[in-house]
Amino acid sequence: MRIASAASWTEAVPLTVPYEISSRRIESVELVFLRLETDGGLAGLGSASPAREVTGESPEACCEALGEERLAWLRGRDPRELEALGNELARSHSGTPAARAAVDMALHDLAARARGVALVDLFGRRHDALPTSVTIGIASLAETLAQAEGYLGRGFRCLKVKTGRSFDEDVARLSALRAELGPRITIRIDANQGCSPAEARRLEGVVRELGLELVEQPLPRGSETELRALPAGLRRLVAADESLHDEDDARSLAAPPPACGIFNIKLMKCGGPGPARAIARIAEAAGIELMWGCNDESAISIAAALHTAYACPATRYLDLDGSFDLARDPAAGGFEVVDGRLRLLERPGLGVELGG
């Protein structure tokens, strides 16, 4: 079995629910899709959602990296040789992690389909179904409560609330949300690097008073010294996102004493299932828990993250809601949502098909 062709294309997709984070408002996303086909007609799918603000990768660079010329080296190669192909991909696409992720997941999709098994079972399944959080952006209290009630009505029981623009306003909104929903609902927060060191220290009392599950990226990337200065109890609840791109970051964050207690792994930052599993091994060795996150993404890349997450023993948290608010998605399948929990479909590969 050999790869015979690679085709990529781009789609600009509006969001049904635009949202705000500490640095910007997000109303649409530019997604890049990849289809690898073998000489026997087997196809593997990948998708990229580059995050310029996080990794520096523009949509234009991502598209160029998935062009026919840049992927010519794949023709004639056996997609089941994942380690060798992954090593070459790391060299050829080091500056475009989302494009690398699209190729890596397409290769993994092909390798698992060729064996007739789901990708999670090719890796070794460790989990079956976990709840995912759904995201509420920075909004007024009325909008926050309305969105929360809407998500609860759809069966979700874990909310991730964006913060980081005004500390006191954030606390007031979170307090009202907890008072309205009571203790039965899990609340996480994500500051997207929006806290000062003094505000980050104040989070200890907020977390305790409001019963928050975790705090994602309170300080800017490069603030590991300040993170290590936080109280140990709070630090264990900090999830590194923008601070964690690759294995080097993982090793730096995990060095004693660990700068955080949770790694938020995103395929668009690290380069796909292969690099994600390498980061997960570093986390497991250091006693760090895993959270799996996403950008606004197609079901293709969400499924790839979920297969990888469910193969890692240290996985504890999911934040894989990136496809829920796309106005359209060229792909469908991969997983189902039941009472806010994500369960993989028992299909070969990623279990995703075009035509959604």
The CATH number given to whatever domain includes residue 192 is 3.20.20.120
Final residue in a domain of this structure, among 61, 85, 116: 116
Nearest to 190 by CA among 317, 331, 39, 328: 317
Same domain, 196 and 250: yes
Same domain, 173 and 88: no
What per-residue confidence (pLDDT) applies to 70? Answer: 97
Torsion sign (Cα): 316, 106, 266, 166? negative
What per-residue confidence (pLDDT) applies to 20? Answer: 78
Final residue in a domain of this structure, among 65, 82, 116: 116
Same domain, 29 and 138: no
Same domain, 214 and 134: yes
Final residue in a domain of this structure, among 81, 116, 151: 116
Cα separation of 299 and 46, whole Å? 10
Structure tokens at 203: 């989070």
Query: At a CB cut-off of 8 Å and minimum separation 6, what does 200 contact?
Result: 218, 219, 226, 227, 230
Torsion sign (Cα): 63, 342, 277, 262? positive
Same domain, 97 and 147: no
Q: Give the chain's length.
A: 356
**Residue 28 pairs with which residues in a beta bridge?**
14
Domain count, the chain: 2
Q: What does the pLDDT profile of the chain (356 residues) look like in tens digits?
A: 999 999 999 999 999 877 777 667 878 899 999 999 999 999 999 999 999 989 999 999 999 999 999 999 999 999 999 999 999 999 999 999 999 999 999 999 999 999 999 999 999 999 999 999 999 999 999 999 999 999 999 999 999 999 999 999 999 999 999 999 999 899 999 999 999 999 999 999 999 999 999 999 999 999 999 999 999 999 999 999 999 999 999 999 999 999 999 999 999 999 999 999 999 999 999 999 999 999 999 999 999 999 999 999 999 999 999 999 999 999 999 999 999 999 999 999 999 999 85
Same domain, 105 and 128: no
Cα separation of 72 and 75, whole Å? 6
Cα separation of 82 and 29, whole Å? 29
What per-residue confidence (pLDDT) applies to 22? Answer: 66
With a threshold of 0.75, does the pTM exceed it? yes
CA distances from 52 to 29, 126, 160 (A): 12, 33, 22
Same domain, 224 and 108: no
Nearest to 75 by CA among 48, 34, 36: 36
Same domain, 110 and 132: no
Provide the CA 284 distance to its chain's centre, in angstroms.
18
- 103 lies in which domain range? 3-116
Domain holding 36: CATH number? 3.30.390.10
Same domain, 155 and 212: yes
Same domain, 137 and 160: yes
Same domain, 125 and 63: no
Same domain, 219 and 96: no
Number of other CB atoms surrounding residue 354 within 10 Å:
14
Pairing mode of beta strands 43-48, 25-38: antiparallel
What per-residue confidence (pLDDT) applies to 167? Answer: 96
